[in-house]
């Protein structure tokens, strides 16, 4: 059956300190491999391995495509690249973003669950929104274990809280308790539990293939779920709604993927951007109308000039109304709405 020796970790805002504390307590004889996705800017190449190697006992490095998986190593998703796992090796790709991020947590968790099943331990640390929840749910479905940082100690609690709401988590502990827990868990034999069907496994494989270089996007990617009325905020393609347990997530035919919460956040962000674009356009028309009014006034056509000035005034009034709408607009998320409902 084998041991639980594939450990995948996802973190975002506030996650660096948690990752440092966790990996600092991992012993040199640790008989498992650790894979980390931390949401970062593309310009931060090499910063996380440098931080971990200064204070940890196990070598950390940005993962390299086709690299062999070895125990006692810490593999980190490079900036602007997804980290995926295959049998015995690593894939590093620039596939479509998921939940607005590349690297994203869900592709790592999904590929680990598909390839290694019950040998996987998934960990969610500090971060905003809910990247990693879908992947952690799949890890559980494939017989692996789920660990979540205690939300009260996380710098940003949204990712841990989302995982606790949506996934049957095995352990919710402080970061200081994680290393001792992992040392214990990797010595245990794996179970044979796998609750996914052959059809579900085929769908999982299709989603993994979307992220791989040289792979053609499956022609029936939209068949992974039901067509929705929403469009992808990244490329404006049609989104398919994929149901998993009690949750719904979305993927477009070009490959971008979103949780419902992330999609809601992006849609409400786009509303504000669109409103400001409307204000800018109206203001430009106001200036043009005023300039034309000045022109007709200068050439002694006061009646025409008056009409232009009147239209400019009306446009300015419309711009002020849109400004009022912007001031009332809310940036929404599942978390903010649920907090209001309490």
Select which of 12, 126, 158, 259 is catalytic: 12
Q: Are 95 and 208 in contact (CB under 8 A)?
A: no
Among residues 33, 39, 158, 162, the one annotated as catalytic is 39
3-state SS track over 22-87? HHHCCCCCCCCEEEEEECCCCCCCCHHHHHHHHHCCCCEEECCCCCECCCCCEEECCCCCEEEEEC
State the catalytic residue, choosing from 33, 111, 130, 131.
131
Distance of CA 77 to the CA centre of its chain: 14
Instruction: State yes or no: is 131 an active-site residue.
Output: yes
Q: How many CB atoms lie within 10 A of CB 288?
A: 14
Name the residue among 191, 195, 257, 246 with its Cα closest to residue 224.
Answer: 257
Q: Is 174 a catalytic residue?
A: no
Tokens of 173: 């502990």
Strand locations in 165-311, DSSP E? 171-173, 226-231, 238-244, 247-252, 257-259
Tell me whether residue 39 is one of the annotated catalytic residues. yes
Which are the catalytic amino acids? 12, 39, 131
């Amino acid at each position: 059956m084998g041991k639980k020796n594939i450990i995948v970790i996802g973190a975002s805002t506030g996650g660096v300190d948690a990752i440092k504390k966790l990996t600092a307590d991992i012993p040199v004889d640790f008989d498992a491999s650790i894979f980390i996705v931390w949401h970062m800017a593309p310009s931060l190449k090499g910063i996380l391995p440098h931080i971990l190697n200064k204070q940890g006992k196990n070598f950390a490095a940005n993962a390299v495509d086709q690299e062999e998986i070895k125990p006692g190593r810490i593999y980190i998703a490079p900036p602007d690249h997804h980290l995926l796992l295959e049998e015995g090796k690593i894939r590093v790709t620039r596939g479509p973003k998921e939940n607005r991020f590349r690297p994203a947590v869900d592709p790592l968790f999904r590929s680990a669950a598909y390839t290694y099943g019950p040998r996987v331990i998934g960990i969610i640390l500090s971060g905003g929104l809910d990247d990693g929840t879908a992947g952690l749910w799949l890890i559980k479905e494939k017989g692996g274990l789920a660990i979540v940082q205690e939300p009260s100690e996380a710098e940003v609690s949204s990712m841990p809280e989302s995982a606790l709401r949506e996934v049957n988590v095995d352990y919710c502990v402080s970061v200081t308790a994680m290393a001792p827990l992992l040392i214990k868990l990797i010595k245990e034999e794996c179970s044979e539990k796998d609750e996914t069907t052959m059809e579900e496994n085929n769908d999982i494989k299709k989603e993994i293939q979307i992220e791989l270089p040289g792979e053609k996007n499956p022609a029936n990617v939209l068949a992974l779920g039901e067509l929705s009325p929403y469009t992808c905020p990244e490329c404006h393609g049609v989104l398919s709604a994929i149901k998993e347990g009690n949750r719904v997530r979305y993927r477009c035919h070009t490959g971008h993927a979103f949780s419902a919460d992330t999609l809601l956040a992006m849609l409400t962000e786009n509303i504000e951007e669109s409103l400001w674009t409307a204000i800018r356009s109206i203001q430009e028309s106001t200036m043009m109308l005023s300039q034309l009014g000045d022109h007709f006034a200068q050439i002694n056509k006061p009646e025409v000039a008056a009409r232009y000035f009147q239209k400019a005034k009306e446009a300015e009034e419309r711009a002020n109304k849109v400004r009022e709408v912007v001031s009332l607009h809310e940036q929404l998320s599942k978390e903010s709405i649920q907090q209001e409902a309490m």
